[in-house]
């Protein structure tokens, strides 16, 4: 049932602030009441529908059209919305790397539906990022729980309640199966996103403008505490160079990457996929070798053959470096650390654990915290 938000204390005196009951809980469904009600933190009355397949399970559209500059709409279960409402008040921590002037450049050069590199950098340094928020978030179980036309109706409502629905409607569309424009836009442009522990899809209209490359120069980092995302540069991106991200895991050979991307509705034309035959063969050779060495590591671990596991892991590390798969380099340091830890060599394990953390921080994947190493080593023992 709904909660009458009018009667709760919006700004309790400091002495009472510890008592959560006195605060306004976020309204969770459409039955809160028809009259002037403070829907805070939502700007619209949440519209809800019961699952066809699972009676009793409800999904609602929650919108705040003033969040950021484009608003936010979330289609999810009431509990997830209530639990995550606090994220609306948060910003991505560590905002020191922002390059605000990017916004103007990005928006003015926007060319919908063009594959050509519309998104160009002025100059982006490694670990420098540009912060973006405002989106549509959709619980992945929602489309399966609804009749198609009901699902589409709620998707349209979610888009209509944003500050500028045109920003969503102007996005590229490439699905062959979708029957509805919003379904196509979400399928073409959204990311997997976890909210309240459940799988969701998230659409960030600005990130959606970034093309895929199999050797990208940037990646998207999601905030754990807010709805913001950052686009972080892996390396210096020159003025005029296109900003690219990878839509898929970065360590696969060309054929597998093309297969995966066809599911997104396109044939990849990035520089790696269109390189010379020799370059593609060289890259595929290394990536296939990484995959077979990973199998060797697993086999050696199951046979308690630490020496073989460590040797194969070093080989993977070198191949990942040669292929510029930065994320794999960082995680491979951790694999090596864990193998040494298992073998009882705490000193070497600690050295590689630190290298893994440093590489993640250098890449901008994580922000450095004083207890990082301690926490990682603790994880080795559990």
Ligand X SMILES: C[S@@+](CC[C@H](N)C(=O)[O-])C[C@H]1O[C@@H](n2cnc3c(N)ncnc32)[C@H](O)[C@@H]1O
Footprint on this chain of ligand X (rule: CB under 6 A): 111-115, 118, 171-172, 174, 188-189, 208-209, 211-213, 264-266, 268-270
Give the residue among 267, 269, 216, 273 at the shortest CA–CA distance from 245. 216
Helix (H) or strand (E) holding 218: strand 218-222
Minimum CB distance to ligand X, residue 247 (Å): 7
Nearer to ligand X by Cβ, of 40 and 175: the residue is 175
Nearer to ligand X by Cβ, of 39 and 118: the residue is 118
Minimum CB distance to ligand X, residue 169 (Å): 12
Minimum CB distance to ligand X, residue 58 (Å): 31
Minimum CB distance to ligand X, residue 13 (Å): 49
Nearer to ligand X by Cβ, of 118 and 380: the residue is 118
Angle at 165 between CA 162 and CA 166, to 5 degrees: 155
Scanning 190-345, the segments in alpha helix (DSSP H) are 254-262, 277-302, 306-322, 326-342
Nearer to ligand X by Cβ, of 176 and 381: the residue is 176
Two tokens, residue 371: 């207890």
Whether residue 41 contacts residue 6, with contact meaning beta carbons closer than 8 Å, is answered with no
CB within 8 Å of 334: residues ≥ 6 apart? 352, 353, 356, 376
Nearer to ligand X by Cβ, of 151 and 172: the residue is 172
CA R_g for the chain: 23
Q: Beta-carbon neighbour count of residue 255 at 10 Å?
A: 10
Long-range contacts, stretch 178-184, CB < 8 angstroms, 24+ apart? 179/148, 179/152, 180/148, 180/152, 180/155, 182/152, 182/155, 182/156, 182/158, 183/143, 183/151, 183/152, 183/155
Nearer to ligand X by Cβ, of 115 and 285: the residue is 115
Minimum CB distance to ligand X, residue 217 (Å): 13
Minimum CB distance to ligand X, residue 188 (Å): 5
Minimum CB distance to ligand X, residue 115 (Å): 4
Nearer to ligand X by Cβ, of 176 and 382: the residue is 176
């Amino acid at each position: 049932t709904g909660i009458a938000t009018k009667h709760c204390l919006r700004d309790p005196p400091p002495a009472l602030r510890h008592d959560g009951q006195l605060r306004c809980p976020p309204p969770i469904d459409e039955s809160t009441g028809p009259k002037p009600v403070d829907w805070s933190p939502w700007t619209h009355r949440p519209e809800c529908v019961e699952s066809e397949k699972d009676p009793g399970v409800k999904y609602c559209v929650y919108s705040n059209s003033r969040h950021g500059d484009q608003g936010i709409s979330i289609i999810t279960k009431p509990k997830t919305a209530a639990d995550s409402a606090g994220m609306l008040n948060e910003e991505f921590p560590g905002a020191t790397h922002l390059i605000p002037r990017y916004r103007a450049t990005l928006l003015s050069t926007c060319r919908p539906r063009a594959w050509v590199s519309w998104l160009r950098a002025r100059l982006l340094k490694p670990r420098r990022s540009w912060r973006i928020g405002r989106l549509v978030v959709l619980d992945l179980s929602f489309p399966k729980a609804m009749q198609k036309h009901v699902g589409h109706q709620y998707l349209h409502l979610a888009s209509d309640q944003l500050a500028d629905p045109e920003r969503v409607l102007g996005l590229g569309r490439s699905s062959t199966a979708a029957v509805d424009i919003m379904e196509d836009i979400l399928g073409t442009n959204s990311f997997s996103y976890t909210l309240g522990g459940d799988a969701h899809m998230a659409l960030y209209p600005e990130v959606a403008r970034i093309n895929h490359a199999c050797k990208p120069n940037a990646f998207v980092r999601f905030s754990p505490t807010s709805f913001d995302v950052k686009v972080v540069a892996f390396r210096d991106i020159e003025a005029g160079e296109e900003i690219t991200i990878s839509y898929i895991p970065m360590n696969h050979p060309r054929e597998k990457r093309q297969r995966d991307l066809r599911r997104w509705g396109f044939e990849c034309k990035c520089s790696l996929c269109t390189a010379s035959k020799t370059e593609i063969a060289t890259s595929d050779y290394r990536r296939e070798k990484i995959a077979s060495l990973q199998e060797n590591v697993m086999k050696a671990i199951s046979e308690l053959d630490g020496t073989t596991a460590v040797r194969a892991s070093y080989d993977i590390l070198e191949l990942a470096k040669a292929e510029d798969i930065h994320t794999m380099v960082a995680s491979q340091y951790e694999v090596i650390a864990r193998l040494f830890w298992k073998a009882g060599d705490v000193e070497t394990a600690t050295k590689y654990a630190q290298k893994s953390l440093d590489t993640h921080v250098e890449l901008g994947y994580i922000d450095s915290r004083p207890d990082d190493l301690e926490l990682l080593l603790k994880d080795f023992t559990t």
